[in-house]
Structure formats: C-alpha cells, structure tokens
Amino acid sequence: MQRTVITGSGAYIPPHIKTNRDFTVHDFYDEAHERIHAAPTDIVEKFRDITGIEERRYAGNEFNASDMATIAAKHAIEDAGIDPETIDQIIVAHNFGNVVKHTIQTDVLPALASRVKHELNIQNPACVAYDILFGCPGWIQGVIQADAFFKAGMAKRALVIGTETLSRVIDIYDRDSMIFSDGAGATILEYKEVEEDGPGILASSVMSHCIDEAFYLYMGKSNFPDSDPRVRYIKMKGRKVYEYAMKHVPAAMKACIEKAGVEVGQVKKFFLHQANEKMDEGFIKALYRLYGMKEIPADIMPMSIHKLGNSSVATVPTLFDLVKRGILDEHQLHAGDVVMFASVGAGMNINAVCYRY
C-alpha cells in the first residue's frame, strides 16, 4: 500500500532572544485604550503563569519570512537526501507574507513559495509553488493538501513549510504581543509504498467555524490611544479563542484518531500548536476524558513554547524537527510510534493528522 511519509525535516530558529524581562519596560493598554495600571513586572509574571512562555525568538533585520523558509527547506532537503529538482510541489503556509523590519506592510508578490523555489534555484517548471493561508494550522493543512494531491495522482514529492515573522505585526502596547515570535519549519513528504504497519499518514480531520468565530483573531488598531488608526496590528480575543479551542480541538483530535483506526493509548506523542501551555495541557486532558480516561502519560506532549514562543504556522514543524533530531532530551521518536499533529488558529480553523513514524 502507499502512504504519505515524512522523509526529511528542518527548521530555522532565529538567534535573537527576547525575554519576559524585556517587556517590563513597556506600558500596556487595554482594548478600551485605557492604560493598565498594574506594574509591568506583575503583568509579565501573570502572563508567564498562564502561557508558560519565558522567552521568544525574533528574526534579525536581514531576514524575512521567505528567507527563514528557505533555510528550513534546505535543512529538510538535506535530511531527506533528495534532489530538489524532483520536488513536485512547494507549499508555504504563512499569514502575513514578508514584512520588512520597521514596517507594517506585508509583501506577498511574488508568493513566498515562488521566492523559496527561486532561492533553491529549482529549474523544473513542473515543480508548482504556492502559498496557503489557514491561520496557525497552515503547515498541517499544507501536509493534508499534499497528501490529497498524492492520492489524486498529481504529485509524489512535496516540500511543505510554515514560516512567520509575527514580531513585525505586533502592537507593543498590547499584552498579547508577548505571545508571538518568529521561526520556520519544513518537511519533505513523499508518497511511498509501505507495509500495512509501516510509516505514513493514517488519517486527518479538519474543521472551520466562520460565523462569530471568524473574527476572534483579526487586524486592528493599536491599544495606544494616540496611535495612527490606519496602521493595523494582529489582535486576539484571547478568552474567546481559549473557549473555542477547548470545546472543539479535543473533538477534532478524537475524530482523527477514530478515522485512523487506532486507540488513544497508542498515540505516543502529541505535537500541538504552541500557543499556550495550559491550553495544550487542557486539550490532552479533555481528549482523554472523551475516552473516559483520567491517567495521562507524562511524556506524550513535547513543548517548545517556553523558549520559542508562538511562531504560528512554524510551531508544529519546528517542534517535530527538534524531537526528531533528539534536541529535546526528554522526548524521542521510534519507528512504529503513532503520533498526532494538531493545531487551531485564525479563521477559526482546526486540523489534526494521525501519523505513524
């Protein structure tokens, strides 16, 4: 039988560290443009307790999202040991395109995937390059899309990348600005002949809620009262996002597991979008409750959010690459392990993939 197999992975983690302490010199304002009078140190400490984030990474001035994507892609190609000219599709997930440092304007002409193909110097015109916008679940959606093209007989090898420079679209007067970071993760996917119990994608599930939920994340003016109303920044209705995610993500994960024909206890690792430590822990607890289970293994949920923050579409592929390369010492992958990729984000969109390593 044939399945979609991840044959290579790579990541680019920016070297510039911004710690929580760096935010203690900020003045924060609420959505009503009123100054928050709590001490910045108290605001930052409460933020860490809720999200688990201690520091995050920002890209240097010389790099854009497409630059980071290209570096991650080169690592994935090298890891897979393939000729780039044999890639049939390049799928790049992002939300804001290239944002030049010290500006707020996004640049998606040409598409980031086209820029990556250009930088990789791929001559093959049959290698189709395109972008995908799906909020934070974009990389997983790219994987699902590549799998569909494989099954339709339209491709056999794909490069799927998630890349973002969220640090360039944040409002520094908004407490939520502390969540976001930059980074890129990439994978090579191939449609291969495997044994019944061999590696590959076992199942996927996707859902979108676009009525009231559509604007839980949006672009809005700064919280600072005298800001230019024409300049827009990423904004989030945090409580709404949390409640939505807790209600729907565990159900989507359960649907994916059941489609895969495996038991929840067989899932060795959950690679979850790194947005909020407590929320991710809540997903797993809620999922196990759906199966009437209370005991959760201690080593099933690798986390990178504490040091890398929320880099949107890059969190899941970057986390997978860190574990695959043995960089997170407490987590390892072994042949035959069933794992799950799952994410939630702007749209609102949710997706999950059940995969055998």
- What's the structural domain count of the chain? 2
Q: Locate tokens 């799928």: which residue?
A: 91
Range of the domain at 99: 2-193
* pTM of the full structure: 0.94
The helix (H) or strand (E) run that includes residue 188 is strand 182-193
Instruction: Tell me the C-alpha to C-alpha distance, in Å, between residue 98 and each of 65, 67, 94, 133, 312.
Output: 5, 9, 9, 13, 14
User: Does 350 share its domain with 214?
Assistant: yes
Q: What's the CATH number where 332 sits?
A: 3.40.47.10
Last residue in a domain, options 193, 223, 243:
193
Q: How far is CA 69 from the centre of its chain?
A: 13
- On whether both 142 and 214 belong to a single domain, the answer is no
Q: State the chain's maximal CA–CA distance in angstroms.
A: 63
Cβ-based burial of 280 (10 A; exposed 0-12, middle 13-18, buried ≥19): buried
Same-domain status, 219 and 164: no
d(CA 182, CA 315): 9
> Do residues 178 and 212 lie in contact, with contact meaning Cβ atoms separated by under 8 Å?
no
- Note whether 227 and 140 are same-domain residues: no
Q: Are residues 135 and 232 in the same domain?
A: no
Please classify residue 13 by burial: count the beta carbons closer than 10 Å to its beta carbon, then call 0-12 exposed, 13-18 middle and 19+ buried.
buried
Dist CA 231 CA 219 (whole Å)? 9
Q: How far is CA 127 from CA 135, 311, 320, in A?
A: 25, 27, 25
Count CA atoms closer than 13 A to 287's CA, side-chain side: 29
112-119 helix and 65-80 helix, angle to the nearest 10 degrees: 50
Cβ atoms of residues 285 and 154 within 8 Å: no
Place of tokens 């729907």: 248
In tens digits, the chain (357 residues) has pLDDT values of: 999 999 999 999 999 999 999 999 888 999 889 999 888 889 999 999 989 999 999 999 889 999 999 999 999 999 999 999 999 999 999 999 999 877 777 888 999 999 999 999 999 999 999 999 999 999 999 999 999 999 999 999 999 999 999 999 999 999 999 999 999 999 999 999 999 899 999 999 999 999 999 999 999 999 999 898 888 999 999 899 999 999 999 999 999 999 999 999 999 999 999 999 999 999 999 999 999 998 888 899 999 999 999 999 999 999 999 999 999 878 999 999 999 999 999 999 999 999 999
Same domain, 51 and 150: yes
Shared-domain flag, residues 218 and 105: no
User: Do 37 and 169 fall within a single domain?
Assistant: yes
235: exposed, middle or buried (C-beta count within 10 Å: 0-12, 13-18, 19+)? buried
Are residue 231 and residue 333 in the same domain, yes or no?
Answer: yes
Using alpha carbons, select from 244, 255, 272 the residue that is nearest to residue 140. 272
